[in-house]
Structure 1
Amino acid sequence: MLGSPLYQRHDQAFCAQLANVEQAAAAQDTVLVGAPGTILEHKRAGLVYYARQFMNPEGKKQEESLGGPRGDPDVEARVETMRERILQGKDLVGRIRELAKLGFQIADNKTYATMGVLYNHGLFQAGAVLIGSHAYAVLLNSLGIKSVAYETEDVDIARARQLALQHVPTGGLLAILKETGIAFVEVPPMTRGAPSTSFKQAGATRFHVDLLVPSEDDSFPTIAVPELGAHATGLPYLAFLLGKSQMGTLISRHGAVPVRVPDPARFAIHKLLVSRLRTNMLIKSQKDVHQACVLLAMLGDHRSGDIEDACADLPASTRALVRRALPDVRRLLEAHEGAMDELEAGIGA
C-alpha cells in the first residue's frame, strides 16, 4: 500500500494571488522595516515635523523621523514618498493576510526585517542566497504547495563568490543588521581570538544570523568576506547548493521582500547530503530528509527532469553520501514513484 502524499497543491487562483504579491514586492523601491505604520505630525515651537510611527519587528511601537518643518519642499517630497510606501505596504499586508489563511508559509517579523535590510543594501541582487528552513518556506510557496512548516530562529545567508556591492556602511554586515532595530551583537567564536561568523540578538533569545561560504575541502574554515566587513564559516558541499539560484519572495505579516534562494532540486539533494553528516543530530537529520523529500516529490510529479539535471552537477565524491540516505527517502517517497526513480537514476543507485 502506498504512503500518503507529502504535499498538497494550492489552487491555481491562490497561486495567482501569490504572484501578484511577488510582483508588488519586486516593485518596491525600498522595503519598510516593521509594519507599514502611519504618518504623524508633531508640533515644536509652532512648527510641524513629521514622523513615521510603526510596530517594530519585536512588536513595540517605534517612530522614524521624517524631518520638517511642514512646507519645506524637500521635506514634503520625502513625506509624500513615505506615504506612497505605506499605502503600498498596507496593500501588501492585506493580501498576505489572505495568503496566510490559505496555508502559505509566513515568516516571523524579525526574519522579515532582516531580509528587508539585506535587500535594501543590494545583497540578494548581488548574489547572496538565503538558505536553510526559511529558504525552504519560500520554495514551498513558489512551487505552489503546502506541507509541514518548520519554525526556526536561524537565518542562514551564503554567498558563492565576492558580492559586487556598490556600498557597504561603516561597520559592515553588523551595521546593516542593526538597521532592523534589533540589537544584534557578534557571537563569540568557539576558538578564542578567532573572528565571529555569526550574529545574534542580544539577550535571552536564540534569533541569529549565520554567514556561510563554500569550503574547498571537507573542513569548516573561517573565511574573510571583505565586501561585508565580516567573516563566514566555510561549509563542505555548499558550492553545489549555490551553483544555481533564483529569486523568490519571503512574506510576513509586516510585508513582502524579494530574496534569492537555491534551485529547489539542488536544495533537496543538498539536504540529503547534510543529513548524512549530522550523525549525532538525529532530529535535524530527519528534518533535512523530510524537507528534501517534499521538494523531490513535487518535482518528480510535476517538473520531470529537474532532479536528474541537478544530480548531473553533483560531485562524484558525494554520490555515496546521497545513496546512504536512500532507505529513509524510499520510505517517504512511497506515493511518489516518479521522484524516486529520477533520483536513483541521477545518482546511479
Structure 2
Amino acid sequence: MSPFPLYEQHELAYCSQFANVAQAAATQDKVLMGAPGTVIEHKRGGAAYYARQYMGPEGRRQQENLGGPKGDPEVDARVEHVLQRIDLSKDLISRIRDLSKLGFQLADNKTYATVGVLYNYGLFEAGAVLVGSHAYAVILNSLGIKAISYETEDIDIARRHQLALTNIPKGGLLAMLKETGIHFVSVPSMKRGEPSTSFTEAGKSRFHVDLLVPSRDDTFSTVPVTELNAHATALPYLAYVLANAQTGTLISRHGAVPVRVPEPSRFAIHKLLVSRLRTNTLVKSQKDVRQASVLLAMLGEHRSGDIEDACAALPRSARVLVRRTLPEVEALMRDAHEAGFEELQTSLAS
C-alpha cells in the first residue's frame, strides 16, 4: 500500500496564471513553427523582401519567406500580422517559463511544432483529439495538479468521425507534418501490403505520430482516413474515450497551442482498459495504470461523481478488463487516496 500522495495541487494563483496563458493562446489564428524569431529584410536589386528568421524545432536556424517588395500594401499587412504573432508568442513564452518553474507540464519543441501545424489546419476545431501521454500532460495542467511526468516520443492523434476540413495540402497529413521543418516519412506497416498508419522523423529518431480511429468491433485493423489522405489504426473502445472531449492547452518553450483532449474521468478509465489490452509491454502497462490512478485520485477528492459517470458509460465488455486492474490501482491509491479508489471500486461493481 502506498501512503504517499500521487499528486499535488498548484496554488490558485498559479492556476490563474495558466488560465491566462490558455486564454491568450486561444486568440491565435495560427501558431508559429519553432521559436518566435524576428522579421528580417533581404535586398534584391533596389527592393527589400521580408523573411522570418527563427530557430526550428530541431534547434537549427530556419527562414520563412514572407514575400515582398517592401511597400506593397498586401505584403506589409502580412508582415505586420506576423509581427503581431511574434509579439504574442514571446509574451506567452515569458509566462510559460514561469509556469515551468512551478511544475507545470511542458511539451518538447518537436511536439509543439507538430501539434501546432495540426491546429493551423483546423484539425482540433474539426474534432480531432490528442490522446496518449501528451494529452495526460495537458489534462494535469488543466486540473491544476502536478505529478510525475513521462517522457514520450509518441504523438497520438485520434478522430471519432470524419473531419470537415478545407485547404488540405495534396499530400494530406504527411505534407502537413513536413511543414514543421521536421523530415517526416511514412513508417512501413508490420503487415505486408498494408498502408502506413504512422509517421516518423527520418533517421535514428524515435519521434513519431500515430493516427487512430475507433474500431467497429473488438479487433485491430487499418482503415482509410480519406479527408487526411492517410490511413489509421482502428482500436477497440477508442470511441468511449473520444465521446466527451474538451478543450485544453499544450504549452512548451516555443509557445502554447489550443488542442482537444478527452475528459479526465474517461481518459483515466480508458488508461486502465488499455493497460489490459497491452500484451507485450509491461512498462507501458504500468505507466497507463499510474497515470490513471493520478487522475482518479484527484477526481475522487475534488470532483465526486465524475468517476461514477465514466464507469456508467463504459461498455459492458470492457468492465471485466478494467476490474482486473483494481489490485494495482489499490496499491497506488489506498491510504493516500481512499475516496478515489472507493468510488472506482463501487462504480465498477454496479
Give the Å deviation of 1:166. Answer: 2.5
Deviation track 1:77-107 (CA, whole Å, cap 9, x = no partner) reads: 1111111110011001100011001100000
Q: Residue in 2 aligned with 1:33?
A: 33
> Residue in 1 aligned with 2:173?
173
Structure 1 residue aligned with 2:55: 55
Aligned residue runs from structure 1 range 1-12, under 5 A: 3-12=3-12
Q: Which residue of 1 aligns with 2:282?
A: 282
2:110 is aligned to: 110
Residue 283 of structure 2 aligns with an amino acid whose one-letter code is: I
SS at match of 1:57: coil
In the TM superposition, what is the alpha-carbon distance from 1:69 to its structure 2 partner?
A: 1.4
Q: Deviations over 1:8-53 (max 9, x none)?
A: 0000000000000000100011111111110111112121111100
Pairing 1:61-140 to 2, within 5 Å after superposition? 61-140=61-140
**1:283-314 Cα shifts (integer Å, max 9, x gaps):** 11110000000000000010000000111100
Secondary structure of the equivalent of 1:124? helix
Superimposed CA distance per residue, residues 138-189 of structure 1 (whole angstroms, 9 cap, x where no aligned partner): 0000000000000000000001111111231111111111111111110000
- Deviation, 1:2, is 6.3
Letter of the 1:137 counterpart: A
Please say if 1:197 is aligned against 2:170.
Answer: no
In 1: Cα distance, 2:121 partner to 2:276 partner: 36
Aligned counterpart, 2:347: 346
Aligned to 1:213: 213
- Hey, what's the Cα distance between the residues in 2 that align with 1:2 and 1:209? 35
Give the letter aligned to residue 338 of structure 1: A
Q: Percent identity?
A: 70
Matches within 5 A, 1:137-286: 137-286=137-286
How far the C-alpha of 1:67 sits from its partner, in A, is 1.1
Alignment-mate amino acid for residue 188 of structure 2:
P
| SS across alignment from 1:125 | helix
Task: Give the Cα–Cα distance (whole angstroms) in 2 for the partners of residues 160 and 298 of structure 1.
Answer: 27
Matched letter for residue 99 of structure 1: L
Deviation at 1:279, TM superposition (A): 3.3
Tell whether 2:332 aligns with 1:332.
yes
Distance 1:216 1:277 in 2: 16
Deviation at 1:191, TM superposition (A): 1.5
**Are the equivalent residues in 1 in contact too, given 2:276–2:321 (CA < 8 A)?**
yes
- Counterparts of 1:192 and 1:336, CA distance in 2: 47
Q: Which portions of structure 1, spanning 4 or more consecutive aligned residues, are displaced by more than 3 angstroms? A: none
Q: TM-score, normalised by structure 1?
A: 0.98
Structure 1 CA distance for aligned equivalents of residues 185 and 280 of structure 2: 29
In 1, the alpha carbon distance for the partners of 2:178 and 2:165 equals 18
Unaligned runs of 5+ in 1: none
Q: CA deviation at 1:344?
A: 1.1
Aligned residues: 349
Aligned in 2, Cα 1:14/1:197: closer, same or farther, shift over 3 Å?
Answer: same
- 1:303 is matched with 303
Q: Which whole-Å CA distance do the structure 1 matches of 2:311 and 2:129 have between them?
A: 20
SS in 2 for 1:43: strand
Amino acid at match of 1:204: K
What secondary structure is seen at the aligned counterpart in 2 of 1:223?
strand
SS of 2:126's equivalent in the other structure is coil
Contact 2:155 2:210 (8 Å CA) reproduced: yes
Q: Once the two structures are superposed, what CA deviation does each residue of 1:195-217 show, in whole Å capped at 9, x if it has no partner?
A: 11000011110000000011122
Unmatched segments (≥5 aa) in structure 2: none
Deviation at 1:280, TM superposition (A): 2.6
CA–CA separation in structure 2 for the residues paired with 1:106 and 1:67: 33
Write the distance in 2 (CA, Å) between the matches of 1:112 and 1:45.
38
Q: Secondary structure at the match of 1:51?
A: strand
Deviation readout 1:250-280 (Å, 9 max, x if unpaired): 0000000000000100010001111112233
1:318 aligned residue: 318
Letter in 2 for 1:105: Q
Q: Summarize the Cα distance change of 1:170–1:164 in structure 2 as closer, same or farther, 3 Å threshold.
A: same
